[in-house]
Amino acid sequence: MHFGILGSGSWATALAKILTDSGEHIHWYVRNDDTIAHLNHRRHNPHYLSSAYFNTSHLQLSSNINYVIEACDVLIIVIPSAYVHQSLSALNKDAFTGKKIISAIKGILPEKNQLLNEYLEENFNVALKDYFSVLGPCHAEEVAAEKLSYLTFSGLDAGITEKIAIHFNTEFIKTITNPDVLGVQYAAVLKNIYALGAGIAHGLEYGDNFLSVYIANAADEMVKFLRQVKHEESSANLNYAASVYLGDLLVTCYSLYSRNRMLGNMIGKGYSVKAAQLELGMVAEGYNASKCIHITNETIKVNIPVADIIYEILWKQLQPAAGFETIENLLV
């Protein structure tokens, strides 16, 4: 397999490190030529995970997205969900023909409220059998520090999923496989919403007891939603306590690395949503995700009141203190 990475942020940089540390030679689409020059000369990304150094003989860097796509048979898309359409819309409709696509995106594309696989199927005829995801409770910063981390690869074909996953095994990365390619994506979207809420709770100075009860209820809501959207080809016996579901929810709600928790913390302390986003200076997927899930749930109609209140705070100017007073009386 010949891997290509589309995107150059922190998680793209972490995945590039994982693959090159496992001995892979990769093509990497980096939009900015100055960043490419810095990576080639100084061996690290100047903007993200600057402590992660690369053996540049394993990197083929290019600002030409078409070149990277054509050169590879497995493409990892690591572009923030809000910018996917902008980044890919100029490609030919057959650009991904014969390719395997791995999504490393933890969000929904806001233009049409779509998961990445839905967007790729509609615009590039990418079949779900050729689509995989890599998710789980893994922080780019911990990958850079080579702290042991677990990644879950999901796909409909167990054999191909395993063949892909094995290329990511290193001394500090262990891989798991899973058939629930749609459910894991929705879990990644939902956990960002709940983590943003956990940050708001912290900013409002709630304690550990409240936060633990809040997360337990969030986990229950998430499972109810996932059971409604489970793909018919997924296993009927999914373990929603596994790392790609519950584990990712926990780490995103608790970790100081979590962008969504950081954004929520500022909102809880009194920042407006816009001011908090400007202060954060990074994409927190939970903001757009809250609106996308709200729209999706108008059809699915799952009872997810905590997620609904987070949406009201972020998009309908509900005061955080008032919203969490309501949440207090919902928790069990």
Report pLDDT for 175.
97
**pLDDT tens-digit readout, 251-269:** 999 998 899 999 999 999 9
**pLDDT tens-digit readout, 64-83:** 999 999 999 999 999 988 89
Q: 113, 269, 138, 128: which is closest to 191 by C-alpha?
A: 138
From first CA to last CA, the distance across the chain in angstroms is: 48
Report pLDDT for 26.
95
**pLDDT tens-digit readout, 205-244:** 999 999 999 999 999 999 999 998 865 455 557 899 999 9
Q: Is the per-residue pLDDT at 290 higher than 80?
A: yes
Report pLDDT for 284.
83
Report pLDDT for 82.
87
CA gap 304, 87 in Å, rounded:
32
CA gap 103, 128 in Å, rounded:
12
Length of the chain: 332
Report pLDDT for 236.
56
3 phi and psi, to 5 degrees? -95, 140
Report pLDDT for 231.
56
**pLDDT tens-digit readout, 112-164:** 889 999 999 999 999 999 999 999 999 999 999 999 999 999 999 999 999 99
Report pLDDT for 34.
95
Element (H, E) at 303: none
Residue 36, CB half-sphere, CA atoms under 13 Å: how many?
Answer: 14
Query: For the chain, where are the E strands, in sequence order?
Result: 3-6, 26-29, 59-62, 74-77, 100-103, 131-135, 149-154, 173-178
CA distances from 167 to 16, 143, 242 (A): 12, 16, 22
| 169: amino acid identity, one letter | N
**pLDDT tens-digit readout, 25-40:** 999 999 999 999 999 9
Q: Is the per-residue pLDDT at 282 higher than 80?
A: no
**pLDDT tens-digit readout, 158-172:** 999 999 999 999 999
Edge-to-edge strands of the sheet including 131-135? Answer: 59-62, 26-29, 3-6, 74-77, 100-103, 131-135, 149-154, 173-178
Q: Is the per-residue pLDDT at 283 higher than 80?
A: no
Instruction: Please indicate whether residue 232 or residue 94 has the higher confidence score (pLDDT).
Output: 94
**pLDDT tens-digit readout, 190-212:** 999 999 999 999 999 999 999 99
CA gap 149, 218 in Å, rounded:
24
Q: What is the mean pLDDT of the chain?
A: 93
